[in-house]
Amino acid sequence: MTKTEEILRRNFDNALEVLAEKFKVGDLEKFSRPEILVYEGGTGYNFGENIIQFNTSQVYSKIVLGEEASHYLHLQLNPLHKTKVLNNFDVIAVTTLIEVVGRYGALVYLNERGESIMPFKKRGAFATESTQEFVSQVSHHYGYQFAHKLMELHGDTILPVLARMELDEGLKSLPRLAPITFYERNIMPLVDRITGYKPNLKLAL
């Protein structure tokens, strides 16, 4: 193991320890320990192979470490979310939910470390010729926007619940817990008042 890999493993394990408490994971030993690699390309968690790759420039990035640790914990707790993506179940919606939990956890980690959280910035048009890249851009953009709204409205309290929700309940609850559009802020509450729907936030942890 190189010196850079040793530093990365130490930094990642620190983020994992902090976030395990926030995700309400009692014992990390019940999960298979991920392999950590320093990589010259993009950063990401390979759920199937349980490998997390970090670009060399992100070894000290707390928000990246927090996000990848959150992806790992989320998909260990609720692997069905990733399975649905692999089975082409409304890929953008499910991928967005995964990105919400990842970035939400990263924001919680930054807050725990006393770091400032930069405001979310909306982007312009999604310009890409690749369907896969389009899905990635859309899911990251809206996932991050929902995550910032969750942190603003609820602090870290929703993180362990959202990570464990059944997929349908998670997708239905998200715009109600973190409304970001006019419809979600103004119309959806009226509809829910008629139907009696409320997100289930009392899941067994």
pLDDT single digits (tens) 91-134: 888 899 999 999 999 999 999 999 999 999 887 777 777 888 88
CA dist 93 → 57, 84, 175, 196 (Å): 30, 10, 12, 24
* pLDDT over 90 (residue 204): no
Q: How far apart are CA 161 and CA 8, in angstroms?
A: 28
**Whether residue 84 has pLDDT greater than 80:** no
Q: First and final CA of the chain: distance in angstroms?
A: 36
Q: What is the pLDDT of residues 158-200, one digit of tens each?
A: 999 999 998 889 999 999 999 999 999 999 999 999 999 999 8
More confident residue, 97 or 27: 97
Per the model's pLDDT, the better-predicted residue between 174 and 41 turns out to be 174
What is residue 126's predicted lDDT score, i.e. its pLDDT? Answer: 74
Average pLDDT for 11-20: 96
DSSP at 33: P
Task: Using alpha carbons, select from 92, 90, 47 the residue that is nearest to residue 71.
Answer: 47
Query: What's the predicted TM-score (pTM) here?
Result: 0.92
Quote the radius of gyration of the chain (alpha carbons, Å): 17
Q: Please state, rounded to an integer, the average pLDDT across all residues of the chain.
A: 90
39 within 8 A of 54, measured Cβ to Cβ: yes
Give the pLDDT of residue 179: 97
* Per-residue confidence (pLDDT) for residue 88, from 0 to 100: 53
Cβ neighbors of 162 (< 8 A, separation 6 or more) are 100, 101, 104, 150, 170, 173, 174, 177
3-state percent helix, strand, coil for the chain, nearest multiple of 5: 60, 5, 30
